[in-house]
Structure 1
């Protein structure tokens, strides 16, 4: 029977899971060394520490993490805040009560709007709303 106690203090945090999962997803695209360099680290071992939950991810590095890992900064920032202040979940829930757009949803929105001029956005929204109504019967 395995010990339920985590090996590292931040092992089961959302941000450790996000970083670990995203680095694994990017393994065929770029190396951990490349990711570390994009974030501003000389050595990739520091990323391993964050992935395992050995250390807290510095909040000031989150924008660089978001760019390097192509993760929505708001999602990453909330996960980072939860790691730093785990007992403030209620306050964080209030701060982030609006629905957060996932990376896939953001990519879809960017794809949809990429071919439009700013003045065409209203027409695109109307078209999508019409499609939604039509599919609902």
Structure 2
């Protein structure tokens, strides 16, 4: 992404997954734990976060209220153009981070396969694997 959802957040903010493919935003406000769960959505190459649940000190917070709404307004990130004509198809959050599956048509590797002579040279030079020239 061109910028991170974590950029500019307070140092005590954590952004783990919620175990269901959504982002959990956790921090303390006035000494109380605040948790917001947000679904990441993909539209074209733009990822946005939409709150689906929120609580302060384990008490539910109205998502339609101005504070939650204002906090997420403008929280969109535009993905850079992907290589080889790939286009993102979905977005979710896992314990490893944000996952963006992509799809493309008529994708061909940009490297050519080494011919037998190149492979033989690599074997004689002691290099393992196949290098592409």
Does TM-score exceed 0.5, indicating one fold? no
Give the alignment's TM-score, normalised by structure 1.
0.22
Structure ranking higher in helix proportion: 1
Greater gyration radius: 2
Structure ranking higher in strand proportion: 2
Higher relative contact order (CA 8 A, sep 6+): 1
Give the alignment's TM-score, normalised by structure 2.
0.23
